[in-house]
Structure 1
Amino acid sequence: MLPDGPIIPRSPSLAGIEDLRRGYTPSTHEARKLIEENTKQLLSEQELIDAELERLSARRRDISRELEINQALLAPVRKLFPELLSEVFKHAVQGSSTWTRFSLCVLCGVCTTWRAAARDTPLLWTSIDLDYIIDMDDPILHLQVQLSAQLPLRVYRWRNSTAGRISPEAFFDALSDTDASRVEEIEIEYSGDKLSKMRARNFSRLLVAEVSIVDSCASGALGFLASAPALRDLCIAVGYPCSNDEVLLGSPVPAVPNFQCVTRLTLGINNDLPVSAFVSVLSQLAPTLNDLIIVSNEVSNWEEAERAVTFEMPVLCTVELEAYTHKVLTYITAPVLHTVTLNGDDLCLAEEDPTESLFDLLSRSRPPLRSFTLRDPMQGSADTLLNCIERMAGLQRLCMEDNKYRATSSPRMVAVLEQLICDDKKPPMLPELRSLSVQFEGRYRVSSHGRADVVAPLSQVRLSRKEPRVCAGQAVVALEEYNGPAL
């Protein structure tokens, strides 16, 4: 409780001040002197009051913090059993890129209960961040190896150069055989030359590897993964510079070890290499590859190599291709392919039509496509797109997105929609179509409104496919799902 009276009592006025206030002054000089002395006294009192106010404000802030901490003790999470608290912690770290820091700085720093629960949750200690480890004697590393309780480990390093931190080659070279066999996932960004000098370890449980090669390319940059018999998911990103001579003399891409089980491949082409440079990689992994994703910049700096022969990808089911990488379709056949996603160049730098490559594939084989997504400025030929769709008789999901910036019409999309309108007297296009998505998006903005020329045919498509029907003797299923502008 604060006292009832003033915290700092007011000092009495100087002698003669009251007389001055009443107008009785012996002289102007003496009156000025008395006023100045009184001013100094008042300013001194004001400074004392300001200091006291600052002290009280600081104390108020301290009390507020203590109240928050005190009230937090009543939070339901404080009453959870350790087993439930452990499950909450597991959920909290999922998808976190700072897993190690979160476990150490947050979960272990709240209270002894949280610290004990975190230490007794092995999953929290399985993610080893090399950007956070100084050397192999780092107590954090030993703590993680100990508390992870033989669970599979995840090792990652996001930055190519981190001063004062352990290098990937030093870490993997010093890692014990037992701990190396526990590694289930590796994510690393490093120079190609340095990667090629890393010795292969027995990664018998490795399932996922993401390797970003920067600064330089070396043929053996992926050699450290040679003993990974269980590898399923492989991501290779190339960002090193290449000269014209290097590209002309040979494909400056790393050699891929003889993986027997890779089912998913992601290629990140960040240095504008032609997609033909990776044909040898794709053909090598073709026997087991189910999913293929290729991302790239908008335009390649080099011409694609001429196609000599195509190769078969016998179990390839899904492909997602960005910008100019659609050309990979001209090098392959895929007899069981059922999902294709083509993300075109929304900046229109190359003015390419990705459906030309798709038509090349569909002209040579008829895979049982069930889903087709085209995100593109829609500047290509409507006939080419229609010819592709005509070869997708069993298609069940169609997504078209015109992403040309500031476009006011979509004639290519209109041509497709007009053919999708059902008529009792003509054979239907895509009789098994159950899901239709029509979108309009430009870079840096999304439009929820349809373009004027699209509204009428789109409305007719939805109306004509509202219920199951028969057109020219062929059954047509009802459109069950629609995603697009409100009509």
Structure 2
Amino acid sequence: MAHNALPRPSSLPGIEDLRRGYTPSTHEARQSIEERSKQLRLEQERIDAELDRHIAEMQRLSLRRRDVVRELDLNHALLAPVHRLFPELLSEVFIHAVQDPFNVQKTDFAVRVLCGVCTTWRAAARATPLLWTFIDLSYITSLEDPLLRLQLQLSGQLPLTVTAKVQDQAMQLLLVAFFDGMSDEDASRVVEITVEDDGVVLSQLRSRHLATLRVADVNIWDTCTQGELGFLTSAPTLHKLTIGVQYECEDDDAALAFPVPVIPDLPCLTHLILAIENEFPVSAFLPAISQLAPVLRVLKMSSFEVSAWEETKPTVTCEMHVLHSLELQHYTHRFLTFITAPALHAVTLIGDDAQLGKEDPTESLLDLLTRSRPPLRSFALHDPMQGSASALSGCIDLMEGLQRLNIEDNERGVTSSPRLAAVLQRLVCDENTPPMLPELRSLSVQCRGDKSPCVHSDVAAPLSQVRLSRKDPRVCAGRAVAALE
């Protein structure tokens, strides 16, 4: 960029005098310097004025350019194909925009964007009932709020989704009032509910006949009265329930019984997601889960890294005859030691990468497989791999029909995974040795590096051998072995 700079003199006047310490001693010399300084100050003022003029002109041009760009954008918008769409197609575009999974502010988007561009868009949005089926109570001030009435009107008879993430006392009062004041007709249209609030407030929600409710997500804060799920009592079609527990428990309360919300009789509930965010033991939730055993097909449990309480093993094992899929995070793997699951097809275990070596989830799985022998077809393990290779190998020995295996060593800052390498070595096929997992068709192996997923050097070689030995269908020791995908 130096060639574009303004030319400068090789040496400024007086610089050499200053460098050698020259001091003007005569009156004429000092007067000459003062006269030159006066001229320079005048020149500086002229340059400053010129700069101010150029700056003002730049600002004027910048504002003008902004106006030109805005006018161009408006012209482009007027010529955009979307303005030539039939109202029915425009409605479809709006629906796709609102249903974008990243668009969480659906109500705000419909009101401020779709209805705020032009009269054509506003008319099309108001004539599209699906845009108004998402009722977010954080945008509602009261039951008389025009927006609420407008949404209920414009949504026609379509199913409704209700969300209430309480932020203050006014919102709590509105939530209770909404369940009290909602008409029977509107209540029968609700297919999905998400509520977050203190347990006392949730227990005050009126039980309505939610005839078409399919999905409910309830997050309980601060306290538990055990009646937080009472508003779901008349939800005969509910099939997926998410419960988040974030309240604490005193030692005296725990000595009697852990406060756990009571789950109503829900004959169609097949999916349960339980987020334990208060370090309660898994056994505290076993009675509630046991009552769902006849219908529950999918169970997911998450938790903090460690529990502050000891488990209480039940005297009778919970028999979950229809449980098909199970995902357990951190210490919730202990749940496996409390149940039998003869129909279990898929298991995902997510170990604790923050408390290395504390617990090995495969030991709990081995306990279940030894007692129950379910026909597993898919197994995923994301764990620091600090346990013994024998426990994991023992599990795999009891998964003869497994078709999909996903293993990740998620310990950070290490460069080897001997446990994983040992298990992979056993999966290498040899024509004279009975194969492990002969029906395996999909194998995914990863190690968590410092910055991105990788495969440690001690894992790479046996993994390559496994893939090579299972590249094509073959027979080993008289047993057919499937090819890996």
Note whether the superposition's TM-score is higher than 0.5.
yes
CA distance in 2, matches of 1:33, 1:400: 81
Q: 2:245–2:275: 8 Å Cα contact kept in structure 1?
A: yes
Q: State the partner residue of 2:64.
A: 59
Cα 1:34–1:265 change in 2 (3 A) is closer
SS of equivalent to 1:87? helix
Alignment of 1:338-357 (within 5 A): 338-348=345-355, 351-357=358-364
Specify the code of the residue in structure 2 equivalent to 1:114. W
1:214 maps to 2:233: no
Q: State the partner residue of 2:471.
A: 466
Find 1:268's aligned residue among 275, 281, 293.
275
Q: 1:131–1:162: 8 Å Cα contact kept in structure 2?
A: no
Cα 1:38–1:164 change in 2 (3 A) is farther
Q: 2:408–2:446: 8 Å Cα contact kept in structure 1?
A: yes
Moved over 4 A (4+): 32-53, 162-166
SS of equivalent to 2:290? helix
Q: 2:249–2:258: 8 Å Cα contact kept in structure 1?
A: no
CA distance in 1, matches of 2:356, 2:483: 39
Q: 2:357–2:386: 8 Å Cα contact kept in structure 1?
A: no
1:479 maps to 2:480: no
Alignment of 1:88-487 (within 5 A): 88-94=93-99, 95=101, 96-161=103-168, 167-348=174-355, 351-441=358-448, 445-448=451-454, 450-480=455-485
Cα 1:164–1:289 change in 2 (3 A) is closer
Specify the code of the residue in structure 1 equivalent to 2:438. P
Specify the code of the residue in structure 2 equivalent to 1:167. L
Find 1:76's aligned residue among 73, 76, 81.
81
Instruction: Report which stretch shifted further, 75-84 or 290-299.
Output: 75-84
Q: 1:222–1:256: 8 Å Cα contact kept in structure 2?
A: yes
Q: State the partner residue of 2:17.
A: none
Q: 2:172–2:197: 8 Å Cα contact kept in structure 1?
A: no
1:254-311 deviation line (CA, Å, top 9, x unaligned) = 1111111101000000111111110011101111111000011110110111231111
Specify the code of the residue in structure 2 equivalent to 1:231. L
Cα 1:425–1:198 change in 2 (3 A) is same
The gaps in structure 1 that reach 5 residues or longer are 1-31, 481-487
Cα 1:35–1:478 change in 2 (3 A) is closer
How far the C-alpha of 1:249 sits from its partner, in A, is: 1.1
SS of equivalent to 2:358? coil
How far the C-alpha of 1:80 sits from its partner, in A, is: 1.7
The gaps in structure 2 that reach 5 residues or longer are 1-36
CA distance in 2, matches of 1:136, 1:378: 54
Specify the code of the residue in structure 1 equivalent to 2:452. V
Pairwise CA RMSD of aligned residues?
A: 2.4
Specify the code of the residue in structure 2 equivalent to 1:464. S
Specify the code of the residue in structure 2 equivalent to 1:210. D
1:361-385 deviation line (CA, Å, top 9, x unaligned) = 1111111100000000001111111
CA distance in 2, matches of 1:375, 1:33: 79
Instruction: Report which stretch shifted further, 319-328 or 455-464.
Output: 455-464
Cα 1:163–1:421 change in 2 (3 A) is same
Aligned residues: 450
Cα 1:226–1:45 change in 2 (3 A) is same
Q: 1:134–1:165: 8 Å Cα contact kept in structure 2?
A: no
Specify the code of the residue in structure 2 equivalent to 1:478. A
CA distance in 1, matches of 2:38, 2:437: 102
How far the C-alpha of 1:243 sits from its partner, in A, is: 1.4
Cα 1:61–1:120 change in 2 (3 A) is same
SS of equivalent to 2:328? strand
Q: 1:393–1:431: 8 Å Cα contact kept in structure 2?
A: yes
CA distance in 1, matches of 2:239, 2:154: 27
Cα 1:279–1:48 change in 2 (3 A) is same
How far the C-alpha of 1:152 sits from its partner, in A, is: 0.6
Instruction: Report which stretch shifted further, 400-409 or 317-326.
Output: 400-409
Which TM-score applies when normalising by structure 2?
A: 0.88
CA distance in 2, matches of 1:457, 1:45: 75
CA distance in 1, matches of 2:42, 2:418: 88
Specify the code of the residue in structure 2 equivalent to 1:338. H
SS of equivalent to 1:156? strand
CA distance in 2, matches of 1:383, 1:165: 53
1:197-225 deviation line (CA, Å, top 9, x unaligned) = 11111111110000000011111111111
Specify the code of the residue in structure 2 equivalent to 1:248. A
CA distance in 1, matches of 2:164, 2:75: 39
Instruction: Report which stretch shifted further, 453-462 or 121-130.
Output: 453-462
SS of equivalent to 1:293? strand
Q: 2:192–2:214: 8 Å Cα contact kept in structure 1?
A: yes
CA distance in 1, matches of 2:156, 2:421: 60
CA distance in 2, matches of 1:458, 1:45: 73
Cα 1:458–1:57 change in 2 (3 A) is closer
CA distance in 1, matches of 2:291, 2:224: 19
Q: State the partner residue of 2:34.
A: none
Q: 2:405–2:443: 8 Å Cα contact kept in structure 1?
A: yes
CA distance in 1, matches of 2:456, 2:46: 77
How far the C-alpha of 1:56 sits from its partner, in A, is: 4.2
CA distance in 2, matches of 1:316, 1:306: 20
Q: 2:143–2:178: 8 Å Cα contact kept in structure 1?
A: yes
1:86 maps to 2:91: yes
SS of equivalent to 1:173? helix
1:377-416 deviation line (CA, Å, top 9, x unaligned) = 0011111111111111000001110011112211111121
Cα 1:44–1:195 change in 2 (3 A) is same
Instruction: Report which stretch shifted further, 187-196 or 305-314.
Output: 305-314
Cα 1:118–1:372 change in 2 (3 A) is same
CA distance in 1, matches of 2:419, 2:43: 88
Structure whose residues are more often helix by fraction: 2
How far the C-alpha of 1:447 sits from its partner, in A, is: 2.5
How far the C-alpha of 1:106 sits from its partner, in A, is: 1.0
